Amino acid sequence: MSSSLQDQLEQTLAEYRQKRADLREMQAKMAEMSSTATAPRNVVSATVDTHGQITGVAFPTNAYKNMAPAELAAVVRDTVRKAQTMAREELVELMEPMMPPGMSMRGKEPGKLDIDRMFPENPEDGVFFRGLNEG
> What are the strands, taking DSSP E only, across 28-134?
34-38, 45-49, 54-58
The answer to whether the CB of 67 falls within 8 A of the CB of 51 is: no
| Mean per-residue pLDDT over the chain, rounded | 83
Q: How confident is the model at residue 135 (pLDDT cuts 50, 70, 90)?
A: very low
Q: What does the pLDDT look like over 21-72, one tens digit per residue? A: 988 998 898 889 999 999 999 999 999 999 899 999 999 999 999 999 999 9
Residues 6+ positions from 67 with CB-CB distance below 8 Å: 43, 75
Count of other CB atoms within 10 angstroms of residue 10: 10
pTM for the whole structure: 0.67
Closest to 87 (Cα-Cα) out of 39, 40, 46 = 46
Q: Give every strand in the sheet of 54-58, ordered side by side.
A: 34-38, 45-49, 54-58
The answer to whether the CB of 92 falls within 8 A of the CB of 17 is: no
- In the 8-state DSSP scheme, what is residue 108? S
Give DSSP secondary structure letters for 118-129: HS-SSGGGSHHH
Q: What does the pLDDT look like over 13-23, one tens digit per residue? A: 999 999 899 88
